[in-house]
Amino acid sequence: MKDGKADFNSITDYLTKIREDKSFISSDILVPLPYKNQNKNTIVEIENPEFTSLCPETGLPDFGTIRIEYLPDKKIVELKSLKYYFLQFRNTGIFYENLTKLILDHLVEKLEPFEIKVEAIFTSRGGISSKVTSGYKK
């Protein structure tokens, strides 16, 4: 505090110093498992309602839900590894649009699905809500 007023600039500076950038996010933690139901049209839906990342401008936390829907080919994702993958975003400054595409790219790389869609639905800030969807088809 300076003269009884909060020093928001120094708080923002601190928050931006301690965050990671998107290069911190690694797909190596994702574990693909063999899919044994191959000749079936089974859609896998996964939802993480407690997703967090950081605003790359302010360092403040962003809260949202990540929804993944995919049609597997030969692999599915092991859910514990997906939870740990998501934890990497907690200290990472990244825009919604970039993180949605990054999650999609990593899952396509690891699972090689027939089709996949990743949705990021973030809580309102200043009266504005955001939903970003990225998709892939073989």
pLDDT score recorded for residue 2:
58
Query: One of 3, 7, 28, 62 is an active-site residue; which one?
Result: 62
Q: Label residues 86-121 b or e (16+ Cβ within 10 Å = b).
A: bebbeebbbbbeebbbbbbebbbebbebeebbbbbb
Contact between 30 and 110 under an 8 Å Cβ cutoff? The reply is yes
CA atoms within 13 A on the CB side of 83: 4
pLDDT score recorded for residue 4:
57
Our answer to whether residue 62 is catalytic in this structure is: yes
User: With 80 as the cut, is the pLDDT of residue 15 above it?
Assistant: no
Which residues are registered as beta bridge partners of 31?
none
* 2 within domain boundaries: no
* 53 within domain boundaries: yes
Band of the pLDDT at 70, cuts 50, 70, 90? very high
> Which helix (H) or strand (E) segment is 97 a member of?
helix 96-111
How many domains, in total, are found in the chain? Answer: 1
Whole-angstrom Cα distance, residue 36 to residue 41? Answer: 12
- Please report, for the domain that includes residue 59, its CATH number: 3.30.1130.10
Query: One of 21, 55, 73, 105 is an active-site residue; which one?
Result: 55
Band of the pLDDT at 14, cuts 50, 70, 90? confident
Which whole number is the average pLDDT over 40-66? 92
* 1 within domain boundaries: no
Our answer to whether residue 13 is catalytic in this structure is: no
pLDDT score recorded for residue 57:
83
* 108 within domain boundaries: yes
pLDDT score recorded for residue 112:
97
User: With 90 as the cut, is the pLDDT of residue 7 above it?
Assistant: no
Segment 81-121, tens digit of pLDDT: 999 999 999 999 999 999 999 999 999 999 999 999 999 99
Coil, strand or helix at 8: helix
Band of the pLDDT at 6, cuts 50, 70, 90? low
User: With 90 as the cut, is the pLDDT of residue 35 above it?
Assistant: yes
- Average pLDDT value for the chain: 90
Structural domain harbouring 87: 8-137
* 13 within domain boundaries: yes
* 96 within domain boundaries: yes
User: With 70 as the cut, is the pLDDT of residue 27 above it?
Assistant: yes
In the numeric block, the tokens 């191959």 are attached to 38
